[in-house]
């Protein structure tokens, strides 16, 4: 395979990875939105659904305009179908979030079924002097330190699904859930005030 | 294709929905792994689970129908039924992914190659009788700090235990589904197969 087509393939696969990650992030966020009856999170899911639609279109256009050879076409049909499935997953997540957006009071049974011990959701801004900056999630050990679980990282327009090797940057907004008492600990970790900072 | 005959069973909605949610999420992980690493056995597992979820969806629908006696009940339960149908859609999407493998379409090797660099791996491994992990709890194994691996599900006596709890003991014959770094997974595999007899610190 030529270098040029190798590059083109990488580009397509990268876009698919974003599509896949976003759709899975949406499921996590949608269930949390339901559990906590959080309109804010549900709206985030709705926004991400639009993003997924855009990404999916860009991805399909890119595949179509790549001019694959006949022997390569089958392998890329598989990728196209993966894209369709990721989009379907995103739609399902949006359907869960819609229950919250329509103001349906979540039935207690939903909470029991979701089985997560989340009480609260918090959005924290990562300051430049935070010890979290430039650490991977694996290194940052946020759940161990604060009892809060990072659901998503907002970075500018993007919303990233956290993975162990995701690096936290100054300016990130961490969307985290957990017990109410962990919230202050997380805020202090993400944005230490000057006198606390040594 | 043989479908399971539907009969009403008084199973709590909570249990039906929990199982649908957990299985559908497991299916996504299994299905992507099946497609990207062209693993037919995993793909077949996904299709099995799909049938299971379909049956659960029928059960849940019947239970919610019986539970709704008036408009107020219906309003309270419509959310439950929407969420269940979303879980069902997720499982359908996972089955679509598995079908890429079953129907021999496959994905281009270059896709798998790139994916291996960015995604965590997933393995399915059977615990042999002579393995040192038999009888140990998940907590005792301490896999995440030790080797960067998580057990996301285990299959035991025709039943799935998803996100097994820390106190769950591993039994001989369990099939583990684990996710993590490729070195960590290799180590876990050797442990499960009894080829490695010591948990390193």
Is A73 at the interface with chain B, CB within 8 A?
Answer: no
**Record: contact A74-B105, CB cut-off 8 A:** yes
Under a CB-based contact definition with an 8 Å cutoff, are residues A151 and A143 in contact? no
Task: Report the percent of chain A where pLDDT is more than 70.
Answer: 96
Helix (DSSP H) and strand (DSSP E) numbers for chain A: 7, 4
Is B35 at the interface with chain A, CB within 8 A?
Answer: yes
Whole-angstrom distance, CA of residue A86 vs CA of residue B150: 24
Mean pLDDT score of chain A, rounded to an integer? 88
Query: What residues form DSSP beta bridges with A148?
Result: A178
- Residue B32 phi, psi (nearest 5): -60, -40
User: Residue B7 class from Cβ within 10 Å (0-12 exposed, 13-18 middle, 19+ buried)?
Assistant: exposed
Give me the pLDDT at residue B176, please.
94
| Domains of chain B with bracketed CATH | 13-102 (1.20.58.220), 120-192 (3.30.70.1450)
Give me the pLDDT at residue A196, please.
52
Task: Among A83, A85, A95, pick the best mutation site for testing chain B contact (most B Cβ within 10 A).
Answer: A85
List the structure tokens of A94: 């949006």
Give me the pLDDT at residue A198, please.
46
- Closest-CA distance, B4 to chain A, in angstroms, reads 24
Whole-angstrom distance, CA of residue B113 vs CA of residue A35: 37
Compare all CA atoms of chain B with the CA of A109 and give the residue at the minimum distance: B14
With 80 as the cut, is the pLDDT of residue A158 above it?
yes
Task: Among A46, A83, A87, A92, pick the best mutation site for testing chain B contact (most B Cβ within 10 A).
Answer: A92
**Record: contact A89-B105, CB cut-off 8 A:** no
With 70 as the cut, is the pLDDT of residue A117 above it?
no
With 60 as the cut, is the pLDDT of residue A47 above it?
yes
Classify domain A117-196 by CATH number: 3.30.70.1450
Is A7 at the interface with chain B, CB within 8 A?
Answer: no
Whole-angstrom distance, CA of residue A17 vs CA of residue A145: 30
**Record: contact B120-A164, CB cut-off 8 A:** yes
C-alpha angle with apex A133: A131 to A136, nearest 5 degrees? 105
3-class state of residue B119 by DSSP: coil
Is A34 at the interface with chain B, CB within 8 A?
Answer: yes
Q: Would you list the domain boundaries of chain A?
A: 3-109, 117-196
Residue B162: name the closest of B24, B56, B23 by CA.
Answer: B23
- Closest-CA distance, B42 to chain A, in angstroms, reads 16
Residue A158: name the closest of A141, A171, A140 by CA.
Answer: A171
- Closest-CA distance, B56 to chain A, in angstroms, reads 14
Among the partner residues B76, B78, B108, nearest to A76 by beta-carbon distance = B108
Residue A125: name the closest of A157, A158, A154, A160 by CA.
Answer: A154
Query: What residues form DSSP beta bridges with A177?
Result: A121, A149
DSSP character at residue B133: T
CATH 1.20.58.220 fits A3-109, yes or no: yes
Residue A89: name the closest of A21, A154, A157, A178 by CA.
Answer: A21
Of A66-75, A140-149, B124-133, B143-152, which range is least confident?
A66-75
Under a CB-based contact definition with an 8 Å cutoff, are residues A66 and A10 in contact? no
Compare all CA atoms of chain A with the CA of B112 and give the residue at the minimum distance: A13
Task: Among A7, A11, A13, pick the best mutation site for testing chain B contact (most B Cβ within 10 A).
Answer: A13
User: Residue B97 class from Cβ within 10 Å (0-12 exposed, 13-18 middle, 19+ buried)?
Assistant: buried
User: What is chain B's pLDDT, residue by residue, as a tens digit (201 residues)?
Assistant: 678 788 888 899 999 999 999 999 999 999 999 998 889 999 999 999 999 999 999 999 999 999 999 998 898 899 999 999 999 999 999 999 999 999 998 888 888 888 777 777 788 899 999 999 999 999 888 888 788 888 999 999 988 888 888 899 999 999 999 988 888 889 999 999 988 877 765
List the structure tokens of B145: 């700090």
Whole-angstrom distance, CA of residue A40 vs CA of residue A18: 22
Describe the strand order of the beta sheet including B159-162 as a list of residue ranges: B121-126, B175-180, B149-156, B159-162
User: In chain A, what residues touch B120 (CB-CB under 8 Å)?
Assistant: 163-164
| A195 confidence band (pLDDT: 50, 70, 90) | low
- Closest-CA distance, B130 to chain A, in angstroms, reads 32
Under a CB-based contact definition with an 8 Å cutoff, are residues B53 and B88 in contact? yes
Helix (H) or strand (E) holding A178: strand A173-178
- Closest-CA distance, A127 to chain B, in angstroms, reads 27
Is B38 at the interface with chain A, CB within 8 A?
Answer: no
Whole-angstrom distance, CA of residue B65 vs CA of residue B13: 11
How many C-beta neighbours within 10 Å does residue B40 have?
Answer: 12
**Record: contact A110-B79, CB cut-off 8 A:** yes
DSSP character at residue A196: G
| A7 confidence band (pLDDT: 50, 70, 90) | confident
- Closest-CA distance, B136 to chain A, in angstroms, reads 23
């Amino acid at each position: 395979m030529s270098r040029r087509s190798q590059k083109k393939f990488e580009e397509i696969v990268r876009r698919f990875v974003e599509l896949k990650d976003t759709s899975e992030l949406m499921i996590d966020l949608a269930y949390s939105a339901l559990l906590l009856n959080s309109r804010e999170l549900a709206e985030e899911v709705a926004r991400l659904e639009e993003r997924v639609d855009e990404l999916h279109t860009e991805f399909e256009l890119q595949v179509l305009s790549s001019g694959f050879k006949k022997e390569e076409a089958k392998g890329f049909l598989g990728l196209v179908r993966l894209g369709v499935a990721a989009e379907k997953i995103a739609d399902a997540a949006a359907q869960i979030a819609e229950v919250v957006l329509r103001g349906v009071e979540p039935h207690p049974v939903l909470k029991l079924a979701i089985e997560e011990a989340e009480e609260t959701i918090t959005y924290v801004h990562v300051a430049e002097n935070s010890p979290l900056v430039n650490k991977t999630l694996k290194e940052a050990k946020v759940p161990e330190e604060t009892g809060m679980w990072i659901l998503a990282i907002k970075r500018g327009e993007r919303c990233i699904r956290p993975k162990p090797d995701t690096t936290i940057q100054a300016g990130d907004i961490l969307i985290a859930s957990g017990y109410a008492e962990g919230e202050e600990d997380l805020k202090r970790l993400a944005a230490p005030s000057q006198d606390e900072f040594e | 294709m043989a479908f399971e005959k539907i009969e009403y069973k008084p199973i709590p909605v909570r249990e039906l929905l929990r199982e649908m949610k957990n299985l559908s999420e497991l299916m996504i992980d299994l299905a992507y792994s099946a497609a990207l690493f062209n693993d037919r056995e995993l793909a077949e597992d996904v299709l099995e689970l799909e049938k299971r979820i379909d049956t659960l969806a029928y059960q849940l629908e019947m239970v919610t129908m019986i539970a709704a006696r008036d408009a107020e009940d219906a309003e309270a339960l419509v959310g439950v039924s929407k969420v269940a149908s979303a879980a069902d859609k997720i499982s359908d999407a996972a089955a679509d992914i598995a079908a890429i493998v079953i129907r021999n379409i496959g994905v281009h090797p270059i896709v798998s190659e790139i994916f291996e660099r960015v995604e965590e791996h997933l393995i399915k491994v059977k615990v042999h009788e002579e393995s040192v992990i038999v009888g140990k709890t998940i907590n005792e194994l301490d896999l995440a700090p030790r080797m960067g691996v998580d057990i996301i599900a285990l299959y035991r006596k025709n039943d799935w235990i998803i996100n097994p709890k820390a106190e769950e003991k591993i039994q001989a014959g369990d099939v583990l589904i684990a996710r993590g770094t490729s070195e960590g997974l290799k180590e876990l595999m050797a442990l499960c197969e009894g080829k490695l007899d010591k948990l390193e610190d």
